[in-house]
Every structure is written in C-alpha cells, then in structure tokens.
Amino acid sequence: MKKHPVDDLFQKRLASLEKKPSELAWKRIREGQKTKSRRMVAWVWYAAASVVLTLLTGYLVWQGQNDISSPVPGSSEIAKVEQIIPKKDLPGDSISVKDKGVLGQELKISLPAEQPSLAKQEVKTEAPLTKPNLERRVEIDKIDRPAPVQVAKIEPVKTEELKVEKTEILQSVAPDKVMPNTVEMARREEKRPDRTIIVEVEEPVSEGKDKSKSRLSRVFRQLKNVREAEPVDWDDVGFNPKSIIARADDRTNDDEKISGKRERKN
Amino acid sequence: MGRILSFFNQEAQLIKALRQEDARAQRQVYEKYGPRMLGVCFRYLGDEMTAEDVMVEGFLKVFGKIDQFNSEGSFEGWIRRIMVNEALGLLRKRKQMPEDILSDEAANIPDYNYADQNIETQELLNLIEQLPVGYRTVFNLYAIEGYAHSEIAELLGITESTSKSQLHRARALLQKMVGAWENDFKKKLNYEKASG
C-alpha cells in the first residue's frame, strides 16, 4: 500500500528522533526502583501478617466450635473403663483363659440386659496373659438413657465370677503365634444370682467450662445458633436486643407525652 | 560509558541480565534506548519536561515487567510500545484524547502531492506540536508508529471511523503547514539571492 507523502515525510524524519535526557533522569529511575522494592518488602510483611492473623482467627473459631460441640441427647455413648483384676481372682471367674502364652488375646463378652436401666451391656476383656494382671475393658452402650455423658467406673469385682448369659469371644491373635489347643474358650455359665457390678456414674460439669470460655467463643457459639436457626442465649452474648428496643420505645413514648402536654398547655 | 556499553554484547544476554535485575544491564538499556524513547514521548506530549517524566515511568515499567517480554519480538519495539502507552495514559489523565467533534480548521485544504525534503526535523516537530492533541496522537500512532486504525481505536477508546477522520484532518493540517513553510522558505531563498 502506497504511503501518503505527508506520512512518509514525517515517518522518515521523526521515527528515529532522539532527544538527550537530563542527568537527573537516570537517578530518578534508580530511586523509583528502590521505592518499588521497598513497597514489595512492605507488601511481603503485610501478607505474612495477614496470614498469621487468619490462621489465629481460624484456630480460635475452630476451638470455639469444638467447645460448642456437645453430645446429642439420646445418642449412644460408650464408656470405656479399664479394670485391672488380679490374676488370683480369676480362677473362679466364668471367663477363663488358660493359655498364658498368647499375647493380645481379646475376649469380648456381651451381657444381656439384666438390669432394667441398661439396654445393652457389653463387657470386653483384654487378657494379656503374660502380665500378672488382666485388664478388663468394659464397654457399655447406653441407648435409652437421657444423660449426655456418663463415665462408668467399675470397682474391682468382689465376687469371683461374672454372670454371663451370652458370650462372644473375639480373638485377635497374630497367626504365627497361634498354637492349636492352647486356648480354651471361655466357659459359659448359667445365670448366677450373686453377681455384683458396681457402676459409678459421674455427670460432667458443663457450667464451669462455659464460664471459663472466652467471651469471643461464646459469641461465636451464639452466632452459630443464629445461623442454624436455633434459639440464642442472649446471656452468653452479653446483651439482649429486645430489652434495648423496649427502652427506646419507652423513651419515644415519654417524648410524645411531654410534647402532648406542652401542646395542651399552649 | 563505553566500557559499560560493551559489557553486554548481545540483546539476549542483556535481557537475561535485566531479568536478574542487573544494574549495569539496566544502565546499558537506558543509555541505548533512552534518547530515542524520549523522542517518542516528546512527539506525543510536545513538552520536554513531561516527556522525560513519562520516559522515566516507562523505563521503570520496562525494568519491572521484563519477565513479560517474550524474546520472539523486537526488544526496542516492546520498549517503544510501553512508552507510547505511558504517553497515552498521561493524555488520558489530562483528558486530552481525541474527540469526535472536529474543528473546521482542517477543511478545504489543498492536497499537496509533495513534501519538501529540505525541511528540518526540528521544523517538523514544531509542526506536529502545533496540531491539536487528538490529531497529533492519531497521526503519531498511524503514520510514525505504524499502528492500524483498529488498534488505535482500541488504544484510545474511539471508533475506527473517528481514528480515520482524525488522521485525515491531521494530514490536511500538516500539508497546509508544510506548504506555508515551503512558501516562506522559497521567499527567503529568493530574498537571499536578490540581496546577494
């Protein structure tokens, strides 16, 4: 395409036009670069600070949520109690494991609900037989009980035998360590009336915990309640908006009364 | 200065050094392209002080965004584009961008088919400086920088037809001014011959 003569003239002369910059120009460029690098450093610090702040806030929120999470009534809970029973007490016990050479042998015995308060009771016995003492782990599943948290402590069994109606024995043994005919299954015995199990139930003290929590976590909890459309405990928040609105309304009414009186006077 | 300039022989090495924020490489680039880029800025702004400010900003951008330069294109062209954009940015700030309303100044100008080759560069610069900012910008972009009308329209935020009409009127004004300069020049020559 042919170029316009004016374009051609100006392009030829001015395309390579050069002008000498002043001495200050280079210094200004250098200073500008330093300023930019300083800004970058400041930005890095700001970014680091914001990350730390975010992590801290996240941790606080997470901690608050953990505190809030309370057990739902009616849900099943398992209370684990480790009971150490001296070996000498065992001979007469209905659960007897004769093989002492197997490690990690675990007997799990499910008991029937003999007591009316317990829907299901499970007795789990771990029998590390090399040790002098046997550890008996009792797991109690409570389904019907309304209490949220219960810790059961079982005193050492005074009577030597536990009544077992239905027994389940689980053995988790390394296959190479299993020796045939060394373990005799727990003997089942029919109901024995002289069984005594003492269960001590401790209720968790939740109020003391609540008070010790920070106000921030309490406010967060109430915010969560608002979000999930659950009732808000305004005592935890620290103020009740309803009472504030009521006060404002009272004031307005007073003003109206005063102004009404003034009008009447006039 | 010569020692600095000879330090980086090839452009690729120079760019590599720029990416590593080498101060000597930056100085070399400034020495090599600074005067030319100041000329570019001056053509758009018509003021040396402002042009230098824009050039400084442009070089800061060149050094700061050297990673964005892909080595396939011309390095000088890339720097020039940055300078042009900086100059246009300043004009935009000043709200001196081309307008659709055209002055009648450029109407009915005779079409000169020649341009005097005797005219000095400084004279041409003076002529360009006399143009309205909108005309000058479009003329610089199209005639000297070689941008297409579509690119100019995008850069300046105007329509292509506006760009074309601005160029047409810029040319017409420049032809008129060159013609006037030509007449004056001939008169001067005749006077000198007559007096000599």
CB contact under 8 A, B143 and A28: no
* Average pLDDT over every residue of A35-54: 86
Which domain covers residue B120, as residue numbers?
97-196
Residues of B in contact with A43 (CB under 8 A): none
Tokens standing for residue B196: 């000599």
Residue A209, number of CB atoms within 10 A of its CB: 11
pLDDT of residue A80: 54
If you average pLDDT over every residue of chain A, what do you get?
Answer: 64
Residues B59, B85 within the same domain:
yes
Going by pLDDT thresholds of 50, 70 and 90, the confidence category of residue A56 is very high
Last-in-domain residue among B63, B96, B129: B96
Tokens standing for residue B120: 């000095």
Count of positions (residues) in chain B: 196
Residues B77, B113 within the same domain:
no
- Nearest CA to CA, how far is B38 from chain A (Å)? 6
Nearest CA in chain B to A11: B144
* Average pLDDT over every residue of A38-47: 84
Tokens standing for residue A52: 């730390």
Going by pLDDT thresholds of 50, 70 and 90, the confidence category of residue B36 is very high
Going by pLDDT thresholds of 50, 70 and 90, the confidence category of residue B1 is low
CB contact under 8 A, A18 and B60: no
- Nearest CA to CA, how far is B195 from chain A (Å)? 31
Residues B154, B88 within the same domain:
no
According to DSSP, residue B105 is labeled G
Going by pLDDT thresholds of 50, 70 and 90, the confidence category of residue A23 is confident
pLDDT of residue B45: 92
Chain A CB within 8 Å of residue B32 CB:
no
Higher pLDDT, A36 or B171: B171
Q: Which of A153-167, B84-98, B140-154 has the lowest mean pLDDT?
A: A153-167
Do residues B5 and B30 touch, judged by C-beta distance below 8 A?
no
Mutate: best of B59, B130, B147, B167, partner A, most A CBs <10 A: B59
Give the percent of chain A with pLDDT over 90. 9
Element (H, E) at A134: strand A133-142
pLDDT in tens, A105-153: 444 444 444 444 444 444 444 444 444 444 444 444 444 445 454 555 5
Last-in-domain residue among B96, B120, B140: B96
Chain B CB within 8 Å of residue A1 CB:
no
Residues B64, B33 within the same domain:
yes
Tokens standing for residue B154: 């995008």
Residue A179, number of CB atoms within 10 A of its CB: 11
Question: How many CB contacts within 8 angstroms connect chain A with chain B?
Answer: 93
Higher pLDDT, A36 or A16: A16
* Average pLDDT over every residue of B143-168: 93
Query: For chain B, first and last CA: distance in Å?
Result: 47
Going by pLDDT thresholds of 50, 70 and 90, the confidence category of residue A166 is very low
If you average pLDDT over every residue of chain B, what do you get?
Answer: 84
Going by pLDDT thresholds of 50, 70 and 90, the confidence category of residue A86 is low
Last-in-domain residue among B68, B96, B124: B96
pLDDT of residue A192: 59
Residues B104, B191 within the same domain:
yes
Chain A CB within 8 Å of residue B88 CB:
no
Chain A CB within 8 Å of residue B164 CB:
no
Q: So what's the ipTM on this one?
A: 0.78
Going by pLDDT thresholds of 50, 70 and 90, the confidence category of residue A254 is low
Q: Give the CATH number for residue B53.
A: 1.10.1740.10
Please name the member of B27, B48, B171 whose beta carbon is closest to the beta carbon of A4: B171
Please name the member of B35, B63, B178 whose beta carbon is closest to the beta carbon of A19: B35
Residues of A in contact with B86 (CB under 8 A): none
* Average pLDDT over every residue of A210-238: 79
Helices (H) and strands (E) in chain B, counts: 9, 0
Cα gap A228→A65, rounded to integer Å: 13
Residues B56, B111 within the same domain:
no
* Average pLDDT over every residue of A9-16: 86
Q: Which of A62-66, A248-252, B34-38, B157-161 has the lowest mean pLDDT?
A: A248-252
Three-state DSSP class for A141?
strand
CB contact under 8 A, A14 and B27: no
Residues B104, B194 within the same domain:
yes
Element (H, E) at B5: helix B2-7
Chain A CB within 8 Å of residue B133 CB:
no
Return the amino acid letter for B61.
K
Count of positions (residues) in chain A: 266
pLDDT in tens, B76-112: 999 999 999 999 999 998 876 655 444 444 444 444 4
Q: How many domains does chain B have?
A: 2
CB contact under 8 A, B39 and A13: no
Residues B111, B188 within the same domain:
yes
Residues B110, B181 within the same domain:
yes
CB contact under 8 A, B112 and A5: yes
- Nearest CA to CA, how far is B177 from chain A (Å)? 11
